[in-house]
A and B are shown apart, each in its own frame.
Chain A
């Protein structure tokens, strides 16, 4: 079974609209972390936001927020007031709790977001 599932291969959104990118995860660990990264066409991975499994509040970073629903194992990314520069691939990723920072991330397949003027 996939550990990270992103069900939207591609999305088209009008500029200035809000957009939600879906992510569900599967883990039996109690301690884990969820990340969202943006990858523009240049290939660099840009960290956007993080949610720890024990965090009670949803994470927010500027225009990005993470809608964390632990019981449903979902960690959707919400981008408010989308901009043309938001067009990119977006990846949801998970760090499982075995060794904290010494574990690599598991990535979803990504969502290609295109913002239209």
Chain B
């Protein structure tokens, strides 16, 4: 079964509004979670690393004031897209690392959130 959940799975909003996406690890604790973005027919691009108890670290070119990340607990990270614009429309997907049969760095991915900004 799924070990990482995301909510909502799909959201449509008006330009200028803020959208919050939740990522939860279901039966394990994750001090670190990752947020990726995937534009249509493209690859996943790492946006930021969410760290429980400290600030998120952002990849180059990702605006930290636009994509607010809060790692509220050991099982929850949220990504808030502030003042969303049509160019922010994308598929946002989170992941959490979990020890898996000795696989160092194995990540479980959530089902993703499709954001459409009108």
- Interface positions of A (Cβ within 8 A of B): 33, 35, 37, 42-45, 47, 50, 52, 91, 95, 100-110
Contact = CB atoms under 8 A, between A and B. Distances in A.
Given A33-B103, A101-B32, A106 B46 contact: yes
A95 B43 contact: no
Contacts, number: 67
A95 B97 CA distance: 11
Contacts of A109: 42-43
Contacts of B32: 101-102
Contacts of B91: 43
Interface string B93-116: 101010100011111110110100
Interface in B43-59: 43-46, 49, 59
A32 B42 CA distance: 24
B34 interface: yes
Nearest to B36: A104
Given A43-B91, A106-B46, A107-B44, A100 B105 contact: yes
